[in-house]
Amino acid sequence: MTNPFENKVALITGGSSGIGKAAALTFARQGASVAIADLADEAGWQVVEEVLQAGGKAHFIKTDVSQAAQVHTMMEEVISRFGRVDSCVNSAGIDGEQARTDQYSEKVFDKVMEINVKGVWICMQAQLPYLIQTKGTIVNIASVAGLQGFPGHCAYAASKHAVIGLTKTAAIEYVRHGIRINAVCPGFTQTPMVEKALKEDESYAEKILKSVPMRRLATAQEIADMVVFLCSEQASFITGQAVAIDGGITAV
């Protein structure tokens, strides 16, 4: 099938850039109507415009995923505009700061957990009642930092471990409803967040590349392809998994 998501609706949080944007465009190319949620409204509408120019259907909803009222309003708007939702990708997240655990800012730690963990939990709470109706799918964006330690980034690592825990727990709870829930765990990827960190510290960039057996970064499209696959019928027997896409990092 050239359009496996025809007549389906995909919601992507954090869909204005990086992996979220790549996922939104990939869903649209495969026939889905796409709802993009993010705080970056100008960039979000630009993604919508790209989808529309390619002949697809898309809508942007400005949303702070850490605020339950906004998330529930987001879901109501998705249903009002498209009538259903079949796949939800929870991609919104932040990286925090780089500091040793004993020097890490409590304020930053709380913010990372609020967006990366509470935000995913709030989104799943709001999404699941609608996905029960369509026997839909969720993919949460975790990280290889959710599978192993990530020195200098205690909050980020803790948050992504938590995302995997939320994913596995919900997958078991809702499997009898026909819902599949998985996480993808990207390694270092060419996204605005990573590229900003690399530009700020050239030695850090060299260290990162040496840590990847493939000696390169992933592209956002490579991650998006796995996200969309996990939402497809080709992945119909996959649930509760944390899939590493990391160029071999976790194999070492």
Contacts 24+ apart (CB under 8 A), 45-48: 46/16, 47/15, 47/16, 47/21
* CA distance linking residue 179 with residue 231, whole number of Å: 10
Q: Which residues pair with 137 in a beta bridge?
A: 87, 180
Which of 204, 203, 176, 177 is closest to 188 using CA atoms? 204
Q: Which residue's structure tokens are 């200098």? A: 152
List active site positions: 156
Question: What are the Cα distances from residue 174, in Å, to 43, 52, 131, 137, 148?
Answer: 34, 34, 10, 10, 27
